[in-house]
Amino acid sequence: MRLDPSVAAIRTAIRHTLTALPTPASPPSPPPAPAPTPAATLKESRSQGGAEAASLKELRQEGGRPEVGRAGGEWGRRLVLVACSGGVDSLALAAGAAFVARREGWRAGLVTVDHQLQEGSAGRAEQVARWAREQGFEPVEVATVEVGGRGGPEAAAREARYAALAEAARRLGAATVLLGHTRDDQAETVLLALARGAGPRGLAGMPAHREHGGARFSRPLLDVPRSACRAACAAQNLVPWEDPHNTDPSYARSRVRADALPALVAALGEGVVANLARSAALLGADADLLDELAGDALRRCRTPAGLSVAELGGLPTALRTRVLHAWAAELGAPRAALTHRHVAALDALVTTWHGQGPTLLPGGKAVSRRSGELTGG
């Protein structure tokens, strides 16, 4: 039977991601017993009887159960975790990872996060977990999180989700956590960044690899269209869950997905999605280099009290503003809350100094210029 091209594309993307991961200095050790954390209550999923959500009821994969679990009872194989909500993108990712992992010498585990924001969310999470165990994933965990209100509902849910995934990755010793963001997600992210007036780092969109919370996250599908994920699910008889939040017009991303991006495609052609994603990749490479140079510049600018104004003044604008942004984050200003306005105010203390007062940063820190230095307190 001929392999569906979408299934093949997803498997190839996952294989490339796993191959590119750095090799550890020593083989992994068995993970310690789970312990509860304040960020998320994590529990190993157990099969439950009774009715489950209909949209996930028929989850299955052709070709039988992949043997991706204990590697013959030995923990010598490296572990990769898949973050799976049961939606079309993460479900296609999980099916692909199950297939690839056992052929590439990896153990594959799965974590599904219950945000407790919708009725029936616990049942859906347990159904995803049960499907994962049937496919041979080991370990399989449900992370039940409490979503706060900081930064709006989308940001708060994202913060809680990544905290839970990072905690699981650290505790289980995972080499990386695979995320199901696609080329379409990347194009949407670029458009949202343009609307905010973001700089190169924001326009670079989502990186293929990222360190967060002491864990590594990887996005194998950034060059795979969402349509391929849907086709892959259909080819493998997988029935994804359709998250109503994805079509809720109260969310900016949902409006971009439903209205803005289709309008651009209609006006400029189908290639606009891939072109936006490619622009993000090009900008990401430039931003990575600038960030590296800014890190070196920050070390040169440091003084016992803060930063040297003379050293800052000698830097090109692109490096100086990055140095100021990184330093403000070190002082405790949340990166998500740091805007161009804050960095411009810090830059003014260097380039247009006329005796102005301190600059207030998110988180309550104030930066002042004294005796040729920027100091924060």
For 157-226, the DSSP string reads HHHHHHHHHHHHHHHHT-SEEE----HHHHHHHHHHHHHHT--HHHHT-S-SEEEETTEEEE-TTTTS-H
Task: Find out whether 207 and 51 touch, Cβ atoms under 8 Å.
Answer: no
177 marked as binding residue: no
88 marked as binding residue: yes
- In this structure, how many other beta carbons lie within 10 angstroms of the beta carbon of residue 2? 5
The one-character DSSP state at 71 is T
Q: Look at residue 331 and give its three-state secondary structure.
A: coil
Q: Classify residue 110 by burial, with Cβ atoms within 10 Å: 0-12, 13-18, 19+.
A: buried
Distances (CA, A) of 115 to 84, 125, 157, 255: 13, 10, 7, 22
φ, ψ at 307 (rounded to 5°): -130, 145
Q: Nearest to residue 375, comparing CAs of 359, 362, 364?
A: 359
Looking up tokens 């003084």 gives 303
85 marked as binding residue: yes
Strand order from edge to edge, sheet including 307-308: 307-308, 373-376, 366-370, 359-360
Pairing of strands 209-212, 215-218: antiparallel
89 marked as binding residue: yes
90 marked as binding residue: yes
Task: Find out whether 159 and 150 touch, Cβ atoms under 8 Å.
Answer: yes
- CA 114 – CA 225 distance, rounded (Å): 26
**Residues at the annotated binding site for ATP?**
85-90
**Residues at the annotated binding site?**
85-90
